[in-house]
């Protein structure tokens, strides 16, 4: 049975204070009243600056409250003016002390600059990937502080940071989770002289993985360079070759003279092969060329015509492939993006695609429940947030293990917790938050994630809409017509296939598309037709009453607007309505104002009041409104609605809904 060593405040007997200057020894002694100091002073020299540092551990009560269980770096900055680059010293300390179990996320920094706290606050706002740094000043810790002082200071810098809120590729490994196996697989292929690929939905973490691969290869003494194809597509194929070799030359400080003017249409291939050979002699190892956003230089999808046509694509890849296929190749390449078309199409421009069969498309899988838990539990523990175990499974299912979407919903839930006294996420809070998130920001995030399909894979996107709204027959017809459709959707991790058929793996995307495609379902029963007609008419009629009321009051004034509305009634109805307020004239519970009444009110003053809102001529407006009034009453009269009438209703209603939405949005 393993005994658990309890941690209390104090000073390890081997951590001698004599190794510190007097002012810093006092700081250590005061920290030892609240934390356990594990080491004596160590030194770090960066340029002409010398720092001292040591390690401490949180006592058990603070460790459970703040999630910091390993040793924490305490950096002492003995300079009157604090520079943000001082924080880089923490990473160097981490690298120098790999034998210690040091916390990778949080650190303490004590500075002699009395403005340190305000400087750090500004730095954190502009560097989201920075560590959780708890700041102190020499003057603060020169005297004993209360237990509450330390608790509040740590709480402020742990709890106020939103560690879920990352919307850019991760350039450090501090907050990088769940992709170690993918990174290692790419590195193994590179080291064995093989090429690789990585494809996924937007915000699935492709660029973060590429950056991590490059860091890891560099840490092992190898060479890897990340090149964004959003730059390359602005060049010709020859200019793109120069950009690649120039980037490698500069990245690894080879200091070779490489002349852009020599990369001509006739000589670019020769120059690239020659220059890569010179670089290989200089560095002695092959370079991994990671090409991100590969679709930007892919035929058929690039924004630039010279690449989209395939002409530059073929020449560029013929050269790179010939270099790779030489003995002791100086390069391997990694293709990454959202669209694997360059690897799937066998022929281009009446010839072979130079990349076809060279690399197998690999997709980024979604997080497992365990990976979701590792990421969310680790980050939430530093912010003092606890989570019910089952919530990790809900998160993974709802968002298909997509790390960006998972972090966004967790960020949203944290904003809810910050407004309350609670720091706990249970199922009830989670369920309510998912509903609110899904009807708000979640829609935009889901559309952004799957936007690549609507732009570049229109058939697959159509299939997703069929599946979301329950048109499984139409989905299966497309699936059976071309197997690559479902291969893409399964590869991206949006759907899965079982003996029971196809289903969504990302419930949030299903709900998003089901809402977006709510009124496009095919093969409706009579009951479904009548239910849709009733729901849409009631909703738009209520908002249309508000629109008409607002427009008439704004343009005519309330008194004249009321007189105008009442003028359409007979004498008896006028007497009844005259006692109502203007607002109540448009209240269906107090006054019988029908859909066709609204049409006539708008029609009679079309030019002055409504033409600009509906941006259509009055006759088109009139005919659409008549269609809606006629077919739109079918549910009230229990009349059957044929498919042609239903299509007419949907067309006219979608037009009216959009106009009303635009008015209230503006």
Third-level CATH fold of 10-159: Trna Endonuclease; Chain: A, domain 1 (3.40.1350)
pTM recorded for the entire structure: 0.81
Alpha-carbon distances of 416 from 370, 420, 433, 442, 476, rounded to whole Å:
25, 7, 8, 15, 41
**pLDDT of residue 616 exceeding 80:** no
- The whole-number average pLDDT for the span 291-319 is 95
**pLDDT exceeds 80 at position 637:** no
Per-residue model confidence as pLDDT tens digits over 19-41 = 899 999 999 999 999 999 999 88
**Percent of the chain clearing pLDDT 90 (strictly above):** 61
Tell the CATH topology of 180-352.
Rossmann fold (3.40.50)
Using an 8 Å Cβ cutoff, are 63 and 173 in contact? no
How do beta strands 42-46 and 49-57 pair? antiparallel
Whether the Cβ atoms of residue 144 and residue 116 lie closer than 8 Å to each other: no
Structure tokens at 227: 């090149």
- At 34 the pLDDT is 94
Q: How confident is the model at residue 2 (pLDDT cuts 50, 70, 90)?
A: very low
Radius of gyration of the chain (CA): 33
567 Cβ contact list (under 8 Å, min separation 6)? 574
Residue of 573 and 347 predicted with greater confidence? 347
Contact indicator for 436, 446 with CB cutoff of 8 Å = no
Q: Rounded mean pLDDT of 188-205? A: 94
pLDDT, mean of residues 117-137: 89
Q: Are 430 and 389 in contact (CB under 8 A)?
A: no
- 515-572 pLDDT, tens digit each: 887 777 777 788 888 888 888 888 899 999 999 999 999 999 999 999 898 887 888 8
Between 73 and 570, the higher pLDDT residue: 73
Task: Determine the average pLDDT of the residues in 336-349.
Answer: 94
User: Is residue 643 predicted with pLDDT exceeding 60?
Assistant: yes
- Position 605 confidence tier, pLDDT thresholds 50, 70, 90: confident
Does CATH place domain 369-439 in 1.10.3470?
no
Two tokens at 216? 């890891």
pLDDT of 408 higher than 60: yes
Which residue's structure tokens are 């607007």? Answer: 561
3 has a pLDDT exceeding 80: no
| Residue 207, SS3 per DSSP | helix
Query: In the predicted model, what is the mean pLDDT of the chain?
Result: 90
Q: What is the mean pLDDT of residues 447-475?
A: 89
Task: Specify the DSSP element, H or E, that contains 94.
Answer: helix 88-96
Q: What is the pLDDT of residue 632?
A: 65
| CA–CA separation, 233 and 33 (whole Å) | 60
The reported pLDDT for the residue numbered 1 is 45
Burial of 603 (0-12, 13-18, 19+ CB in 10 A): middle
Q: Which of 1-15, 131-145, 238-252, 500-514 has the lowest mean pLDDT?
A: 1-15
Q: Where are the domains positioned within the chain?
A: 10-159, 180-352, 369-439, 445-516, 526-665
pLDDT at 84 over 60: yes
| Cα–Cα distance measured from residue 330 to residue 288, given in angstroms and rounded to the nearest whole number | 9
Among candidates 22, 17, 24, 21, which has minimal Cα distance to 40? 17
Q: Say whether pLDDT at 405 is over 90.
A: yes
Output the CA angle 418-423-427, nearest 5 degrees: 110
**What does the pLDDT read at residue 503?**
94
| Contact (CB, 8 A) for 269 and 319 | yes
Distance CA 57, CA 52 (A): 17
* Residue with tokens 């005297």, as numbered in its chain: 143
CA atoms within a 13 Å half-sphere pointing along the CA-CB vector of 607: 0
What's the pLDDT score for residue 298? Answer: 96
């Amino acid at each position: 049975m393993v005994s658990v060593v309890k941690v209390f405040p104090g000073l390890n007997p081997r951590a001698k204070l004599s190794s510190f200057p007097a002012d810093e020894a006092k700081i250590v002694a005061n920290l030892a009243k609240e934390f356990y100091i594990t080491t004596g002073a160590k030194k770090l020299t960066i340029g002409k600056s010398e720092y001292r540092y040591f390690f401490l551990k949180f006592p058990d009560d603070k460790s459970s409250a703040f999630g910091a269980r390993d040793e924490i770096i305490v950096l002492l900055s003995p300079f009157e003016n604090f520079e943000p680059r001082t924080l880089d010293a923490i990473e160097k300390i981490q690298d120098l002390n790999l034998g210690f179990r040091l916390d990778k996320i949080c650190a303490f920094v004590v500075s002699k600059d009395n403005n340190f706290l305000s400087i750090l606050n500004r730095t954190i706002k502009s560097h989201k990937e920075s560590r959780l740094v708890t700041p102190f000043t020499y003057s603060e810790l020169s005297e004993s502080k209360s237990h509450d002082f330390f608790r509040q200071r740590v709480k402020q810098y742990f709890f106020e940071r939103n560690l879920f809120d990352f919307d850019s590729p991760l350039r450090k490994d501090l907050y990088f989770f769940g992709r170690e196996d993918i990174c290692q697989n790419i590195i193994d292929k590179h080291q064995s002289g093989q090429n690789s690929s990585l494809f996924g939905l937007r915000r699935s973490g492709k660029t973060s993985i590429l950056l991590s691969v490059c860091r890891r290869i560099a840490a092992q003494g190898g060479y890897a360079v990340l090149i964004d194809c959003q730059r390359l597509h602005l060049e010709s194929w020859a200019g793109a070759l120069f950009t690649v070799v120039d980037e490698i030359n500069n990245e690894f400080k080879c200091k070779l003279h490489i002349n852009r003017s020599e990369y001509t249409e006739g000589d670019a291939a020769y120059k690239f092969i020659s220059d890569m050979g010179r670089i290989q002699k200089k560095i002695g190892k092959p370079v991994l060329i990671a090409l991100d956003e590969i679709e930007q230089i892919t035929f058929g999808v690039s924004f630039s015509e010279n690449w989209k046509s395939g002409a530059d694509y073929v020449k560029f890849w013929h050269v790179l492939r010939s270099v790779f296929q030489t003995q002791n190749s100086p390069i391997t390449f990694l293709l990454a993006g959202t669209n694997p078309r360059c690897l799937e199409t066998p022929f281009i421009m009446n010839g072979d695609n130079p990349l076809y069969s060279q690399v197998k498309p690999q997709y980024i899988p979604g997080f497992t429940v365990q990976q979701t838990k590792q990421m969310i539990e680790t980050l939430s523990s530093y912010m003092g947030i606890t989570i019910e175990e089952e919530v990790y499974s809900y998160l993974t299912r709802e968002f298909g293990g997509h790390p960006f979407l998972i972090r966004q919903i967790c960020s949203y839930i944290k904003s809810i917790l910050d407004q309350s006294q609670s720091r706990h996420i249970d199922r009830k809070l989670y369920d309510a938050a998912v509903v609110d998130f899904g009807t708000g920001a979640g829609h935009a995030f889901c559309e952004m994630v799957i936007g690549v399909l609507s732009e570049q894979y229109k058939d697959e996107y159509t299939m997703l809409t069929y599946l979301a709204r329950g048109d499984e027959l139409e989905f299966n017809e497309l699936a059976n017509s071309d197997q690559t459709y479902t291969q893409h959707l399964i590869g991206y991790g949006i759907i899965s296939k079982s003996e029971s058929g196809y289903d969504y793996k990302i419930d949030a995307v299903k709900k998003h598309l089901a809402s977006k495609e709510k009124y496009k379902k095919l093969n409706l029963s009579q009951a479904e037709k009548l239910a849709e007609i009733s729901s849409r008419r009631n909703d738009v009629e209520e908002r249309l009453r508000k629109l008409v009321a607002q427009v008439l009051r704004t343009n005519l004034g309330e008194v004249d607007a009321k007189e105008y509305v009442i003028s359409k009634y007979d004498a008896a109805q006028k007497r009844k309505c005259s006692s109502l307020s203007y607002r109540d004239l448009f209240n269906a519970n107090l006054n019988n104002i029908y859909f066709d009444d609204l049409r006539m009110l708008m029609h009679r003053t079309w030019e002055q009041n409504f033409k600009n809102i509906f941006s259509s001529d009055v006759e088109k407006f009139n005919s659409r409104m008549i269609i809606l009034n006629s077919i739109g009453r079918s549910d009230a009269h229990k009349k059957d609605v044929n498919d042609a009438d239903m299509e007419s209703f949907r067309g006219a209603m979608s037009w009216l809904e959009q106009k009303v939405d635009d008015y209230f949005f503006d």
